[in-house]
Amino acid sequence: MIRLVDVHKAFGPKRVLEGFTLDVNEGETMVIIGYSGTGKSVAIKHIVGLLEPDSGTVFVDGQEVPRLSRAELYALRSHIGYVFQFAALFDSLSIGENVAMGLRKEGGHTEREIVQRVGEALELVDLPGVEEKFPAELSGGMRKRVGIARAIARQPKYLLYDEPTTGLDPVTSAIIDQLMIRMREKLGVTSIVITHDMRSAYTVGSRIAMLYEGKVRQVGTVDEIQHTRDPVVRQFIEGKPDLDLVEAGV
Ligand SMILES: Nc1ncnc2c1ncn2[C@@H]1O[C@H](COP(=O)(O)OP(=O)(O)OP(=O)(O)O)[C@@H](O)[C@H]1O
Ligand SMILES: [Mg+2]
């Protein structure tokens, strides 16, 4: 279980998180939605200790992340796959080496094991046999899938996806959605998915949380969010440009 408890985080004078609280249960896919720049990426970076809260705290499986030693943090990170917002593959490394990176860093695997795990991960994202290719040879959607393969190669218990479908066409996005569902169903992974894409949110989410002004504005099932009476959440999910204008019927 992942718990963010009353997390506050500012960068200089800019207050980003101001009491962010969210529980993610075993086996669920929690979708985080919210306007650009509200701190969605900042929030999930706290889960893997890439950022430390100014106050409040974060627990993963009962371990308090900001209190972990460096060694404990590395051990924790081996259970958490992270698909970064800007899927940074290393252009000079083959796809196979990109996917193997976490396994190599972790150590303790034979070359055979690594090759096998990389092959399995690429198969799970429907890209079998691309080990020898280089990132430049793949489309944006394929690169996103390699990013997912890299995150799952260590067989993590948790997967954090930061905008996995942004910038992709609808069909490719739907493929990524199906992959995320497959990770949950086949591997029993617990996930957090950040997205702007409401269609994707409704497809993959067990629950949806909206981040607004530093806090979770509402968290609920897909059905609860779709039927929300909160005007702020409504406005976001319906993609309306301005609440006042809409209400005035302009
Ligand atoms: N390391 C950092 N140092 C300074 N400011 C930061 C840092 N990381 C994030 N910020 C600021 O925190 C705010 C929230 O950023 P964040 O990337 O979490 O937004 P987001 O909700 O993920 O947006 P988007 O949907 O565009 O990805 C932004 O104003 C950003 O500039
Ligand atoms: Mg972001």
* pLDDT, tens digit only, all 250 positions of the chain: 999 999 999 999 999 999 999 999 999 999 999 999 999 999 999 999 999 999 999 999 999 999 999 999 999 998 999 988 776 899 999 999 999 998 998 888 999 999 999 999 999 888 999 999 999 999 888 998 899 899 989 889 999 999 988 878 888 889 889 989 988 888 889 999 999 889 999 999 999 999 999 999 999 999 999 999 999 999 999 987 765 655 665 5
Q: Which of 9, 15, 40 to mutate to test the pocket of ligand 1 (most atoms within 8 A of CB)?
A: 40
Q: How distant is the alpha carbon of residue 26 from its chain centre?
A: 15
Q: Which of 7, 16, 32, 217 to mutate to test the pocket of ligand 1 (most atoms within 8 A of CB)?
A: 16
| pLDDT value of position 244 | 60
| pLDDT value of position 247 | 61
Spatial separation of the C-alpha atoms in residues 76 and 17, rounded to whole Å: 23
The structure's pTM equals: 0.91
CA distances from 183 to 129, 196, 212, 245 (A): 20, 20, 28, 42
Domains within the chain, CATH numbers bracketed: 1-72+198-250 (3.40.50.300)
User: How far away, in angstroms, is 36 Cα from ligand 2 center?
Assistant: 7
For ligand 1, atom 9, which residue shows the shortest CA distance? 42
CA distances from 182 to 29, 43, 62, 176, 197 (A): 12, 25, 27, 10, 19
User: How far away, in angstroms, is 41 Cα from ligand 2 center?
Assistant: 4
For ligand 1, atom 25, which residue shows the shortest CA distance? 36
